[in-house]
């Protein structure tokens, strides 16, 4: 049976995306789904915090909400990021490296409205790409001086195609950045330089970032979006985040989709078919199967030499 999907995006929106390489779409995720995602992470943090409290690392959680527990544990040096991330790390992988794959997050990645939007841009054969992360960003004045992780601190200017392997350079792909809380200029929303230029050289700086001298920062445009909304990127569109100068966390996910059968750009991590008109039976429908793919990848990769997640080196000519 052919899977017919009504257009999510207007012709004007698609033309804007083709021209500028970026598009903001409000109200993609439903309030119900947002609530379930938040509840799933609250439960996860409760369990993590209970363990840290039992070890004497953090004070009693009595009277603390989700955000207070996040900040308290961060200040105590307890790492909630990797246990909450929907990926394995880019550095060393151990047999017990934690991650999070649950039913609410799976429902987010496979949400019908979200996939309708993706289909308007890359067609009906959609693979959930394994380059995906949760981002829970504390206020900048709470960050440790040695914090460099882009998923926690502000993100340097980069292109999504560049922070993957070269085999994915011709893949038809989009990044979907999903706001779980309102993203504002004050709390560090994304900023973009519109357009789809060639790939710029990147250098290992604080993070992997576009080499100096290639961007005109005067063209940068902030992209505030309400909770439940999405920012969609072409993989060559330069973007970064602003600094969170508010007194609250900013929470988002960034996930990617590519045309099924094309390289994901990170082949050592697992992908899955999220929608298919040609072969509906190939679609993954159970969150536990998604989790198991990552459990199997962790077991395999923990016994191998480290595989870099991108191609850039300190001794590249552009980084000299």
pLDDT above 70 as % of the chain? 97
- pLDDT, tens digit, 9 for 90 and up, residues 9-25: 999 999 999 999 999 99
- For residue 71, what is the enclosing H or E element? helix 66-75
pLDDT score for 3:
44
Neighbours of 12 (CB within 10 A): 8
Which domains, from first to last, does the chain contain?
11-319 (2.60.120.620)
**Closest-CA residue to 33 (of 203, 228, 184, 224):** 228
Task: DSSP for 134-159, please give it.
Answer: EEEE--GGGS-TT---TTTSPPPSB-
Give 320's pLDDT tier (boundaries 50, 70, 90).
low
User: pLDDT at position 149, please?
Assistant: 77
Phi and psi at 93, nearest 5°, equal: -115, 130
Mean residue pLDDT of the chain comes to 93
pLDDT at position 197: 85
3-state helix, strand, coil in the chain (%, to 5): 30, 20, 50
4-8, 82-86, 166-170, 214-218: least confident range = 4-8
| Per-residue pLDDT tens over the stretch 124-181 | 999 999 999 999 999 999 888 887 777 788 889 999 999 899 999 999 999 999 999 9
The confidence band for 2, taking pLDDT boundaries of 50, 70 and 90, is very low
Share of the chain above pLDDT 90, in %: 81
- Per-residue pLDDT of 56-68, as tens digits, reads 999 999 999 999 9
pLDDT at 147 (0 to 100): 79
Rounded to a whole number of angstroms, the distance between the first and last alpha carbons of the chain is 56
CA distance 285 to 160: 27
pLDDT tens readout for residues 222-281: 999 999 999 999 999 999 999 999 999 999 999 999 999 999 999 999 999 999 999 999
Full 3-state SS string of 244-271? CCCCCCEEEEEEEEEECCCCCCCCCCCC
Q: What is the DSSP string of 74-133?
A: HHTT---HHHH-SS--SS---TT------HHHHHHHT-HHHHHHHHHHH-S-EEEEEEEE
Q: What pTM does this model have?
A: 0.94
- Region of poorest pLDDT, from 40-54, 164-178, 306-320: 306-320
| Residue 293: both structure tokens together | 């793919």
How far from 189 is each of 126, 207, 244, CA to CA, in Å? Answer: 27, 18, 8
What pLDDT does residue 32 have? 98
Neighbours of 91 (CB within 10 A): 9
Question: 10 Cβ partners below 8 Å, 6+ apart?
Answer: none
| Burial grade of 180 (CB within 10 A; 0-12, 13-18, 19 or more) | buried
pLDDT of residue 110: 98
Residue 228 and residue 38: Cα distance in Å, rounded?
A: 12
What's residue 168's pLDDT?
Answer: 94
Q: In whole angstroms, what is the distance from residue 75 CA to residue 58 CA?
A: 9
């Amino acid at each position: 049976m052919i899977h017919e999907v009504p257009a999510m995006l207007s012709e004007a929106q698609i033309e804007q995306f083709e021209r500028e390489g970026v598009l903001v779409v409000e109200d993609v995720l439903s309030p119900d789904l947002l609530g379930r995602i938040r509840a799933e992470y609250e439960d996860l943090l409760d369990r993590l915090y209970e363990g840290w409290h039992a070890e004497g690392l953090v004070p009693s959680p009595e009277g603390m909400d989700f955000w207070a527990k996040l900040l308290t544990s961060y200040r105590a040096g307890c790492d909630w990021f990797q246990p909450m991330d929907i990926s394995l790390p880019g550095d060393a992988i151990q047999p017990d490296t934690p991650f999070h794959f649950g039913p609410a997050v799976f429902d987010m990645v496979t949400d019908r409205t979200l996939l309708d939007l993706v289909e308007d841009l890359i067609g009906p054969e959609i693979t959930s790409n394994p380059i995906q992360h949760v981002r829970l960003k504390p206020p900048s004045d709470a960050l440790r001086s040695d914090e460099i992780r882009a998923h926690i601190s502000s993100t340097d200017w980069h292109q999504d195609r560049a922070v993957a392997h070269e085999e994915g350079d011709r893949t038809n792909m989009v990044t979907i950045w999903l706001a779980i809380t309102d993203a504002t200029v004050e709390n560090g929303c994304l900023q973009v330089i519109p357009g789809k230029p060639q790939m710029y050289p990147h250098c290992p700086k604080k993070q992997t970032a576009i080499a100096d001298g290639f961007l005109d920062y005067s063209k940068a445009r902030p992209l505030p979006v309400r909770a439940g909304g999405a920012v969609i990127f072409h993989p060559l569109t330069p973007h970064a985040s602003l600094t969170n100068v508010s007194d609250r966390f900013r929470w988002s996910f960034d996930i990617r989709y590519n045309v099924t059968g094309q390289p994901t750009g990170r082949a050592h991590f697992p992908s899955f078919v999220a929608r298919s008109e040609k072969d509906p039976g190939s679609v993954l429908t159970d969150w536990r199967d998604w989790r198991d793919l990552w459990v199997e990848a962790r077991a395999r990769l923990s016994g191998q030499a480290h595989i870099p997640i991108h191609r850039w080196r300190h001794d590249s000519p552009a980084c000299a």
